[in-house]
Amino acid sequence: MSRYDVLFLGSSPNALAAAARLGRAGLRVLVLEARETAGGPVATEAFAPGFRADTGVMSASLDPEIARELGVSIDVIRRDSVTALGPEPSTLRALPELPEAVSQAIELLRALYRSEPPEMPAPPGADLAALHDLGARLAGFGARPMHEVLRLLFMSARDFFEEQVGSGAARAVLCGAAVRALSEGPFAQGTLFGFLHHAAMDDGLFRCTAKGGLGALVGALAEVARVAGAEIRVGVPGPLQVDVEEGTARGVRLGDGDRITAEIVVSDHDARTTFTKLVQPRELDPETNRALRAVRYRGSVARVHLALRGSPELTGVDPDALRGTLVLAPDVASIESAWDQAKRGAVPSRPYVEISVPTISDPTLAPDGQHVLDAWVQYVPYGLGDRQAVLKSVLDLLAPLAPGLQGLLLHHHVSLPEDLERRFGLPEGQLYGGEIRLEQAFFLRPIPGYSHYESPIANLYLGGSAAHPGGYSGRSGWNLAGRLLARRAS
């Protein structure tokens, strides 16, 4: 039996960033991962002999402050263009001119994400001070700009971009970024928040990855954590079970019966997995169980990867556009139509699709002269998809634009939401530990009453994408680590 100060269950960038910070502070830290590699859904894996791709999330960006503090150095690849494919392809290399309130809202979110949200409805003294600082920041914009910033958080992406952007193709790609990984169409109120959120995480319209794939980001963080003294174990025998005694987490039991004790246990998993698999629901009161059941996951993203014998050629598209993101959505209405079909339980005839050819910028992902095509296919209903149908929809949409694509195809791999659930332990295949929506953000993430990373179980914390602010920038874990260090100092 081993004892640690902090034990992490899961190994996403959030867990690794936190482990590095705590290790540097002299704590004895252990990270446990059931999969054979660290990273969770931030993964670069082989999908065909000699071909690798990011198989979970399509992009992620390490928070600049965290990268600087930890000295993490990787070759970042930013897809610095987005091309709407269609009869007249249109490429964005920068955001269109938008009102100043957009940049103010993004900066506001960044400030919020660097701190813990207040505990509501009765915030303690420190939280009241944070609320005062937030109010002062908003007031600093001036009365009218402040109202405009707040209005943006609740708007539909369609309404806002229809107001501000003249090009229909540009509106489509902007709305696509707003509904990333949501089971919601851009007509819905509050979807503009998704656009602002991803921009604040530095992984907005122009997606980020790394040379060698996102796995290189995970590898760099894991190395920094190890140098800081953290221990990382992969391929840990499951199922894992948090030891709970009299309402307090005491450690974890492994599938082989080994018991590891720790002062603090941190789940890098989502709330449902944490409180139905790692901890038994009987340990929670009925009200908490009801709140957990209300968390919206609704994964609807399928991932398609193609191994190609050569570079695809797209009619009327500058070859340099293949270094960026390609979007198959002629207009905003087509995205909403795809969601309309999905919410009725059907795979859309024309899903929303984003495509990249990562090997144009990073040839290490495929054999010499060969390429990977990576597709993000949205609005494939959880449990109702068909791999062949999803593959056919992508190939059919590309056929008029890339008539030679079929002749280049060597291998394909399709992951439905339920495949992502099984591979990465993501309920309903939701890639971000629960939809990132305004009603599941800030002090409402993961559930009301536990916005400070605590859980209903004493000494058990949530520090992954399920916790504020969500995503894989490392910020959720970094904030948690700061809280744990402050707790030890007090």
Count: domains in the chain:
3
pLDDT at 130: 67
Same-domain pairing of 178 and 282: no
Residue 82 within any structural domain of the chain: no
SS3 category, 309: coil
Question: Which residue has 């953000």 as its token pair?
Answer: 441
User: Which has the minimum average pLDDT: 106-120, 160-174, 369-383, 385-399?
Assistant: 106-120
Where helices occur in 285-427 by DSSP H, the ranges are 286-293, 332-343, 387-398, 405-408, 417-424
* For the chain, percent of residues with pLDDT exceeding 90: 86
pLDDT at 86: 80
- Segment 301-319 shows an average pLDDT of 95
| Residue 327 belongs to domain spanning | 297-424
Same-domain pairing of 350 and 411: yes
Whether residue 138 is predicted with pLDDT greater than 90 in this model: the reply is no
Whether residue 119 is predicted with pLDDT greater than 80 in this model: the reply is no
What CATH number is attached to the domain comprising 403?
3.30.519
Confidence of residue 220 (pLDDT cuts 50, 70, 90): very high
Q: What is the mean pLDDT of the chain?
A: 94
Same-domain pairing of 348 and 415: yes
pLDDT at 124: 65
Same-domain pairing of 330 and 387: yes
Residue 206 within any structural domain of the chain: no
Signed CA dihedral, 123, 128, 129, 135: sign only: positive
- Segment 380-394 shows an average pLDDT of 94
Whether residue 125 is predicted with pLDDT greater than 90 in this model: the reply is no
User: Which has the minimum average pLDDT: 40-44, 84-88, 267-271, 386-390?
Assistant: 84-88
Question: Could you tell me the pTM of the whole model?
Answer: 0.95
Same-domain pairing of 234 and 160: no
Residue 68 within any structural domain of the chain: yes
* For the chain, percent of residues with pLDDT exceeding 70: 97
Last residue of a domain, one of 142, 170, 200: 200
Whether residue 143 is predicted with pLDDT greater than 80 in this model: the reply is no
Confidence of residue 132 (pLDDT cuts 50, 70, 90): low
Same-domain pairing of 413 and 309: yes
Residue 86 within any structural domain of the chain: no
Residue 87 within any structural domain of the chain: no
Confidence of residue 450 (pLDDT cuts 50, 70, 90): confident
Whether residue 139 is predicted with pLDDT greater than 60 in this model: the reply is yes
Whether residue 288 is predicted with pLDDT greater than 80 in this model: the reply is yes
Number of H helices, E strands in the chain: 16, 18
Same-domain pairing of 239 and 282: yes
Residue 429 within any structural domain of the chain: no
Same-domain pairing of 403 and 309: yes
Confidence of residue 120 (pLDDT cuts 50, 70, 90): low
- Segment 86-108 shows an average pLDDT of 92
Residue 145 within any structural domain of the chain: yes
Q: Within its chain, how far is the Cα of 23 from the centroid?
A: 25
Confidence of residue 449 (pLDDT cuts 50, 70, 90): confident
Residue 84 within any structural domain of the chain: no
Last residue of a domain, one of 200, 225, 252: 200
Last residue of a domain, one of 143, 177, 200: 200
- Segment 165-179 shows an average pLDDT of 95
Confidence of residue 123 (pLDDT cuts 50, 70, 90): low
What CATH number is attached to the domain comprising 280?
3.50.50.60
Cβ 7 vs Cβ 266: under 8 Å:
yes
pLDDT at 117: 79
Same-domain pairing of 28 and 124: no
pLDDT in tens, 325-372: 999 999 999 999 999 999 999 989 899 999 999 999 999 999 999 999
Whether residue 1 is predicted with pLDDT greater than 60 in this model: the reply is no
Confidence of residue 275 (pLDDT cuts 50, 70, 90): very high
| Other beta carbons within 10 Å of 257 | 7
Q: Which residues contact 418 (CB under 8 A, 6 or more apart)?
A: 382, 383, 385, 429
| Other beta carbons within 10 Å of 103 | 14
| Other beta carbons within 10 Å of 460 | 25
Same-domain pairing of 263 and 192: no
What is the C-alpha to C-alpha distance for residues 460 and 28, in angstroms, rounded to an integer?
A: 16
pLDDT at 281: 85
Same-domain pairing of 133 and 184: yes
Same-domain pairing of 315 and 356: yes
**Residues counted in the chain:** 490
